[in-house]
Amino acid sequence: MAKNKPAISLENLTPIQLMEFDACTRCGECVKYCPTYNARDKDQAIEPRDKILRWRDFVTRSYGWRAKLFGPASIPEEEIKKFTDDLYNCTTCGMCGTVCCAGIDTIELWESTRANLVKHGTGPYGKQSLFPKLIGDGHNPYLKQQKDRLVWMTPDIKIAEKSDLAYFIGCTAGYNQQVLCVSTARILNKLDVPFMVLGEDEWCCASALIRTGQQHLGDVPKQAALHNIEALKARGAKRVVFACAGCFRAAKIDWPRAYGKALPFETIHMSQLLAEQLDAGKIKWEKSFDKTITYHDPCHLGRHVGVFEEPRKVLKSMPGVKLIEMERNRHEQRCCGAGGGVKAGIPDLALNVAKDRVNDARATGAEALISACPFCRRNLIDGRDELKLEMRVDDLVVLSAHLMGLSTDIKSPAPGAPKETISDLFRTQTIPPKPPAEPKKEAPKEEKK
């Protein structure tokens, strides 16, 4: 009797990851902290533990001792599809791994399993499947032009042709959250720290592809990483600063993997650079901000790479600022809901998680919620708007620029530009409404032949 073929492959999974599936003790600690499980009305299929146990079951049915002796058991394709969808209902925030009693590295586990399922044909989820083409062809996920990489530039900002320090802008800030670019650039100018940018030579960091398990499609993330590394190296960058936590994480963890060795430059997040400048006594706060604020640790800056204290150090040094911690902070922070491709693929889930996080902030009584990542900023603004709260949501660099006496205004905002383009904290600008679209002329219906 011919044996069945295994219903799943083990591609993209390492031996250690296959061990990790067997290591889950089912204690349920991850369930308590999972932001998407909570936002999905505690649906058991969404909890990390259940996903591990289901995949373990698939592996056992396909490659376990019974499968070895009697042939692999069949697994209905709908079951694999359901598992895939549940797996993508995850922001890969890493909270489950942080609290895992078995020490399982869940972030890597989810990403590898996603890659496996993309190869299987059931992943990714919804609009996430557009990423390879968008990032591969256009070098950004927003259908923007490379020539517009520096569209945010204002006449007052000085960018050096060559410098030891490079500012890697990122697609989200550069195209959709210009306030972050102008704030970062003005801060560096004010601190007399010369910096260069790649401009049209900057490609997407490709984080979105890796987070959604599509790294192998056309090898786009590897090409993007190598392109950015070589471009930065060619310009003589010794240090690269990132104001986007997503890009920073990609450069810190994913780029060296693509490069096959340590990067030829140091990578640093803007919050770290600010803390460094603060220590050197170079930052002079010129204004006061007499409000209570709370700080949201972006997953990609905190749990993924371990930057927790520098943003707090900067915030605590600001005149007038009273920093109150949310109950869940630092390693135990609750994700904003935007990561892991969820914002693009499952926006309702992203919004529900964001509401939970904004409610965490609300519970502190803070008047402003500060983060250090454009993705978090955007999603938390959405959550705040959905909850109809007065709380302001903004980025650490925007607040820093303002208190250093700098303008956070961007060039005249384009009509209909995304709300996150301008500062939410200071609201010195408004976005003109988008002109009504011209009604589409109906094409004459073809007669049926």
Partner 1 sequence: MTEGLEIFGKTVFDVLFIDYRIMVVVAIISIILFLAGIYMQLDKWGRGVPEGATKPAGAWGTLKLMFQKTFEKGIGPALGIIVLDVFLQRRIWRRRKTEWLMHMLIFWGWVGLFILTVAAAGAEFYGPFVKGTDFQFFADFWKTLELPNNIFSYMLVGGIAIAIVRRIFLADVPPARFTSVDWIALAGLSIVIITGFWAQGLRMNLGIEERMLVSAYETVAPGFFNNPVVLFHEVFTLLFCVAYLPFSKLFHMFVTPLVIMINKGGYVEVNP
Query: Which of 3, 68, 287, 434 is the binder for partner 1 (CB under 8 A)?
Result: 68
97 contributes a contact to partner 1 by CB under 8 A? yes
26 contributes a contact to partner 1 by CB under 8 A? yes
Residue 178 makes CB contacts below 8 A (sequence gap 6+) with 151, 152, 410, 411, 421, 422
Give the binding range for partner 1 (CB under 8 A) out of 97-105, 172-180, 338-346, 367-375: 97-105
CA atoms within 13 A on the CB side of 1: 6
| Of residues 253 and 414, the one with the C-beta less far from partner 1 | 253
394 contributes a contact to partner 1 by CB under 8 A? no
Q: State how far the Cα of 376 lies from the Cα of 249, in Å rounded to an integer.
A: 14
Q: Which of residues 303-322 bind partner 1 (CB under 8 A)?
A: 303-306
DSSP string computed for 103-135:
---HHHHHHHHHHHHHHHTS-S-GGGGGHHHHH
The burial class, CB within 10 Å (0-12 / 13-18 / 19+), for 436 is exposed
Distance in Å, CB of 446 to partner 1, minimum: 53
| Of residues 116 and 172, the one with the C-beta less far from partner 1 | 116
Query: Which of 80, 87, 100, 206 is the binder for partner 1 (CB under 8 A)?
Result: 100
Q: State how far the Cα of 409 lies from the Cα of 182, in Å rounded to an integer.
A: 8
Q: Which of residues 287-306 bind partner 1 (CB under 8 A)?
A: 303-306
Query: Which of 105, 164, 276, 385 is the binder for partner 1 (CB under 8 A)?
Result: 105
Distance in Å, CB of 54 to partner 1, minimum: 8
65 contributes a contact to partner 1 by CB under 8 A? yes
Residue 361 makes CB contacts below 8 A (sequence gap 6+) with 294, 296, 326, 369, 380, 391
263 contributes a contact to partner 1 by CB under 8 A? no
How is residue 87 written in tokens? Answer: 């797996």
**Helix, strand or coil, per DSSP, at residue 166:** strand
225 contributes a contact to partner 1 by CB under 8 A? no
| CA Rg value for the chain | 23
Burial 35-51 (b: 16+ CB within 10 A, else e): bbbbbbeeeeebbbbbb
In which element (H, E) is residue 239 found? Answer: strand 239-242
43 contributes a contact to partner 1 by CB under 8 A? no
Distance in Å, CB of 217 to partner 1, minimum: 18
Q: State how far the Cα of 118 lies from the Cα of 341, in Å rounded to an integer.
A: 14
How is residue 70 written in tokens? Answer: 């009697």
436 contributes a contact to partner 1 by CB under 8 A? no
103 contributes a contact to partner 1 by CB under 8 A? yes
70 contributes a contact to partner 1 by CB under 8 A? no
Distance in Å, CB of 332 to partner 1, minimum: 9
Distance in Å, CB of 1 to partner 1, minimum: 21
Distance in Å, CB of 216 to partner 1, minimum: 12
DSSP string computed for 327-359:
SS-GGGPPP-S-TTTHHHH-HHHHHHHHHHHHH
42 contributes a contact to partner 1 by CB under 8 A? yes
Give the binding range for partner 1 (CB under 8 A) out of 61-69, 122-130, 215-223, 281-289: 61-69
331 contributes a contact to partner 1 by CB under 8 A? yes
Task: Give the footprint of partner 1 on this chain (CB under 8 A).
Answer: 10-20, 22-29, 31-32, 42, 44, 49-50, 53, 59, 63-65, 68, 94, 97-107, 257, 303-306, 331
